[in-house]
Amino acid sequence: MPATKNTKKELSKEELIEKILKLKKKKNAVILAHSYQDSEVQLVADFIGDSLELSKKAAATEADIIVFCGVDFMAESAKILSPDKKVLLPEINAKCPMAAMCDTEGLRELKAKYPKAVVISYINSSAEVKAESDCICTSANAVKIVDHYKDKKIIFTPDKNLGYYCSMTTGADMILWNGYCYVHDEFSVGDIFIAKHENPDCLLLVHPESPKEVLEKADFIGSTSQIVKFVEENIENMNEKAGVIIGTEIEIAKNLQLRFPSKRIYPLADHAVCVQMKSTELYKVYNSLLNEEYEIFVEEEIRKKALKALNKMLELSK
């Protein structure tokens, strides 16, 4: 194991990018960046997107190393799908607070109380929680998965807002874990009032991790990639007064503004920043490749159970 090196102050952004790209090739690594990552980090990525989509793409490569620029549960999902690859998380403290809100002990107690209930867990959960679940869902397919099980009682973890959205859409009888993503949960009717007041002809697009009073006022509800797709398909046809207000992590609105500079694209609120996502910086990506840090492990028994729940989702979302 080489001595750990830290390059924070030694190299410029351009030097770091050059070195990362060389090292990536030399070590046969693939770099994944979640779409909430800083644009600087996205520059060195082979793939940019949602967590599951990224893990699936990495699994299909011949790479020996996966560097996941995201948070802990994403790197675990990559490991679940690619057990023979070395999976690295460049910032060891990049942990999703929502995933941490659901613990296996509490979930087991709930399962014991409702032994006939089906457990559906959002992909934004730990490997242990996934292993306790019957099926996984993403924000893009949650409604479809819940709808499949709607004749049974459902325990849904960890996001109460996404769970609420699914129960309202499908009519399913659901017990919602009391977790939430602080980035989306902090959106309020006040944010909408201000954004709509400034841009009255813009459509409001929101992520289903947002609270119900925000969802109720949305013109379109969708996952990050569904919001991006909606903009790609509609923005060119919008007149000069029309546009979109983006109710998800701020990086999405910033990227869309760069891609469509002449169009009216606004974030719902400037406070929608995921601090944990933004804690991955370029020099940490370089250190990660250089020192092969921080390796993510998932116990084999847990990995197999979590994979079963993930595969169930893939089967149902075909």
Q: What is the DSSP letter of 2?
A: P
**Minimum separation from the CB atom of position 273 to ligand SF4 (A):** 9
Nearer to ligand SF4, 35 or 288 (CB): 35
The 87-126 contact track toward ligand SF4, x by CB under 6 A, reads: ---------xxx-------------------------x--
- What are 48's strand-pairing partners? 33
Site of tokens 């057990």: 83
71 binds ligand SF4, rule: CB under 6 A: yes
Tell me the C-alpha distance between 215 and 255, whole Å. Answer: 23
Q: Which CB sits closer to ligand SF4, 273 or 290?
A: 273
The single residue among 276, 280, 287, 288 that binds ligand SF4, judged by CB under 6 A, is 276
CA geometry: angle 164, 165, 170, nearest 5 deg: 100
Q: How far is the CB of 28 from ligand SF4 (least distance, A)?
A: 28
Strands laid side by side in the 65-69 sheet: 47-49, 29-34, 65-69, 86-88
- Cβ atoms < 10 Å from Cβ of 105: 8
36-65: contacts with ligand SF4 (CB under 6 A): 36
Q: Residues 164 to 183: which contact ligand SF4 by CB under 6 A?
A: 181-183
Taking CB under 6 A as the rule, does residue 274 contact ligand SF4?
yes
CB of 3 to ligand SF4, least distance (A): 32
For ligand SF4, the binding residue among 155, 218, 277, 307 (CB under 6 A) is: 277
Cα end-to-end distance, the chain, whole Å? 43
Rounding to the nearest 10 degrees, give the CA dihedral for residues 171, 173, 177, 181. 0
Residues in touch with ligand SF4 (CB under 6 A): 36, 71, 96-98, 124, 181-183, 249, 274, 276-277
